[in-house]
Chains A and B, each alone.
Chain A
Amino acid sequence: MRQIVKHFPGTRAVDGVDFNCRSGEIHCLVGENGAGKSTLMKLLAGIYQPNSGTIELEGVPVVLKNYSEARKRGIGVVYQELSLLPECTIAENFTMGVWPRTKGGMIDWMTVNAQARKIMAMVNLDLDPSELIKGLPVAVRQMVEIGKVLSQDPKLIIFDEPTASLSKDEVRLLFGIIRDLKARGKAIIYISHRLEEVFELADRVTVMKDGKRVATEQVGAFTEDTLISKMVGRELKDIFPPKLSKGQAGAVKFSATVKYDQNHEPISFEIREGEILGFGGLQGQGQIRLLESIFGLRRVKELSVTIDGKPCQIRNPWDAIRKSIALIPENRADEGVFLTMSVADNLSVATLPQRARHGFIRKKLEQHAVGTMVEELSVKVSSLYQPANSLSGGNMQKLVLGKWLIANPTVVFLLEPTKGVDVGTKQHIYTLIRSLAQKGVACLLYTSDMLELIGMSDRIIVMNNHAISGELSGSGITEENIMRAAVRTRMAQEARNA
């Protein structure tokens, strides 16, 4: 029986996608970072509204204005970001919003606890319902989250990367639960990067790429290789500046070794003059943490950094900046831009001492420096003093870049430098990064956009689970190789451990 039919032509994130899922079926959704899987599911869960197209549940078209409505119609989502309240108990989290009451109008705790036990039984948890969420390890919280969703007895359940923090045994448990749900006639959509899971669970698989649906087949029609190639295959567009040829890189410019804590294997890498070093792998595998730690934003057990052969001590961002290191952060709204302050202020903030005498900012110098940077980056402004939040996303990102370029850094960490940026600006930024590298600046690039990573990097370090799982260079830089290093390492490790 058909559960959903939907297509949204014209939306950038999800581009004319038809998708359906049957009851009693596990339908896996795969694709690279940014392929549109999460967005598609958010549309289904009512969190986003489609620009066009329809959603049908059991043949009936529906409009879902928010998640509550979706829930009422029997759709449940198990997120990566847990929606649990840490200061409340398990039982309370289950019962939030639908408390059973006694005749006196008070909450009927006996029923609440009994219900909680029943729900926990569904996910094989044997805990005291009065356990606080905040004391539970993340994996258990995930199970509670799943229980919470199941308790609303949904007809369609969406799992978005549920096994990210689960151990092997817990994953097995989860799969048992999922299969059980399938047997009970639920429709299940399962998003995952981990292909071995896909092959184990799926009845059908849909591959998405660049917002489009590329293929939908019974799982038996794929092999791992064909699946990967369907996920990645596309033409590289001609928007990246030429890379270094073999052997063109200079001496080692920057090297770092980081050890997070006692139990952690140290990560080290180095980068040579003129090259752009990309960090790849699946999202959340520690790439950002690594770069932010080197910049001094996070406390680590051991950190050693050398620039041009000289060791440097970095304990906080202030030290890093003094050593001419710059970091373009991942979330510009929270970490990079001062939205209510002017363009000039934003560009100036990291380098104020450069344009000041005795602590007093010299307005003329600032205007000149800022104006020059605005021109260099072609930031579209009508006044240097307009507030940053009046700019487009692309221009705001240029502000963040400009802020650091004014500092003439020796080393630059770029975290998702073209996130939320239009194509034209992207191109501009790519050219910028390459020219920086040519000038001798060590550029470390982290991006979840595979195309960008491959197009820009001379060398790529792939990370998985806070460790380096692969290194690629030259002709070895292909999407398949990156995916393999990012994805298969786990299986290989398990094979080795077995």
Chain B
Amino acid sequence: MLEKQRNAFMYLPVYVAAIAIYLLAGILQPRFLTWNNNVNLFTRIVPLLFAGIAQTFVLLTGGIDLSVGSIIGLTNVIAASLPFPDTGMNLLLWATVPLLVGAAIGLSNGVIISRWGFPPFIVTFATSTIWTGVALFIMDVPGGEISISIYRTITGKLFGVIPVPLLIIIGFVAFAHMILRHTVFGRSIYAIGGNKQVAKESGINVSRIEMFSYMSSGMFAALGGMYLSAIMISGDPLVGDPYVMNSIAIAVIGGVALIGGRGGVQGLIGAAYIFYLIDNLLNLLGVSTFYQYVAKGLVIILALTLTSREQGFSMKRGLLSVGRKAKANLQ
């Protein structure tokens, strides 16, 4: 099958589902379709998307990053603690320091995991606690201050029409996609996730690319933290907590394979929408919003069942778990 076809298979369902839910919500409550509400949605989706992009970079290499949430929290707090960004210099600080911190943390994860060879799950599990602790150290209760002007810019509209959050969404997803699709770094990530041995034999420096994938994750998480600081006009050390598991969830729903080598950021927007729309829709249906948890759980299971089947999991000779397609190809 052509790459285009495979991509369509992988990403269309997510968007079809997202659009379906969206329209359903719109039918039930016309107010839902108003421009204002949409802008609202854009604004709320951004951090989850950043977290999803971060996670995707790492998942594609076959790893996992449980420290995404804590990096968001830490960079959020740092951003809110920097000198009040009303001068150009301070603005520059706000824009760069959290990013560098995210990169540094990500890189440290990468070194421990890739250079030193420890399992990603526990390492990022451990470091997430550490960095949350540091965040709490800097700011034990929500506080800090961001200038109103940043808030206004981030939530404002370009040329008075296009909402900035929408630009952020499209811009950064496109940026991430470009890296993954059109740079050597990105393609190396897929190679490593596909088959580390083959990648190594092709001359790819596996440990370096893996380290950079964790660094990228840290940076995108930092972007999420910065964004949140602007939106909330303050910092909260624990703000990142819900994003860890959600980032994995939307990555998986969006087509990224947990074992690596397959997927991309194309499905993230749709998946994030599905997540946010679920409670919106339930609300409009007059159903208790508690059903959102049930719905989200079912959505994840559904998405996994579909992707697991297609992948034809075990590649070992004919063991009962091999999907039919893969079996035919092997024999």
Contact = CB atoms under 8 A, between A and B. Distances in A.
Given A89-B3, A101-B184, A132-B6, A83 B198 contact: yes
A105 B319 CA distance: 44
A128 interface: yes
A67 interface: yes
Interface in A106-152: 106-107, 109, 128, 130-132, 134-135, 137-138
Nearest to A286: B331
A299 B204 CA distance: 39
Given A85-B195, A88-B191, A137 B262 contact: no
Contacts of B329: 134, 137-138
A138 B329 CA distance: 6
A498 interface: no
Interface residues of B, number: 29
Interface residues of A, number: 35
Nearest to B320: A299
B318 A88 contact: no
A334 B316 CA distance: 10
B201 A67 contact: yes
Nearest to A66: B201
Most buried by B among A67, A109, A132: A132
A67 B201 CA distance: 7
B294 interface: no
Nearest to A136: B329
Contact of A106 (B182, B199, B204, B261): B182
A197 interface: no
B175 to A, nearest CB: 12
Nearest to B316: A334
B220 interface: no
B194 A292 contact: no
Interface in B182-203: 182-184, 187, 190-191, 194-195, 198-199, 201-203
Contacts of B89: none
Contacts of B202: 68, 96-97
A298 B203 contact: no
Nearest to B4: A130
B2 A132 contact: yes
A83 B198 CA distance: 6
Interface string A86-108: 11110010001111010001110
Contact of A86 (B178, B182, B194): B194
A350 interface: no
B8 interface: no
A2 interface: no
B2 A87 contact: no
Given A87-B261, A106-B183, A138-B329, A96 B191 contact: yes
Interface in B279-331: 316-320, 329-330
B184 A88 contact: no
B68 to A, nearest CB: 24
Contact of B184 (A68, A87, A107, A137): A107
Contacts of A92: 187, 190
Nearest to A297: B319
Nearest to B178: A106
Interface in B15-50: none
A289 interface: yes
A292 B320 CA distance: 12
Nearest to B202: A97
B1 interface: yes
A99 B187 CA distance: 9
B1 A87 contact: no
A68 B187 contact: no
Contacts of B204: 96-97
A298 B318 contact: yes
Contacts of A96: 187, 191, 198-199, 202, 204
Most buried by B among A86, A137, A289: A86
Contacts of A101: 184
Contacts of A334: 316
Contacts of A83: 195, 198, 201
A105 B195 CA distance: 25
Given A67-B201, A86-B194, A97-B202, A105 B183 contact: yes
Nearest to A112: B187
A106 B185 CA distance: 10
B1 A135 contact: yes
Contacts of A105: 183
Nearest to A299: B320
Contacts of B317: 288-289, 292
B245 to A, nearest CB: 25
Contact of B182 (A85, A107, A131): A107
Contacts of A66: 201
Given A96-B199, A97-B202, A132 B1 contact: yes
A164 to B, nearest CB: 12
A299 B191 CA distance: 32
A88 B187 CA distance: 9
A106 B4 CA distance: 20
18 contacts: A67-B201, A83-B201, A84-B198, A86-B194, A87-B190, A88-B191, A96-B191, A96-B198, A96-B199, A97-B203, A105-B183, A109-B182, A131-B3, A132-B6, A138-B330, A288-B317, A297-B320, A334-B316
Given A96-B198, A128-B2, A334-B316, 6 more contacts: A106-B182, A107-B183, A131-B3, A138-B329, A298-B320, A299-B320
Ordered nearest first, which 7 A-B pairs have the shortest CB separation?
A97-B202, A135-B1, A85-B194, A97-B203, A96-B202, A130-B3, A106-B182
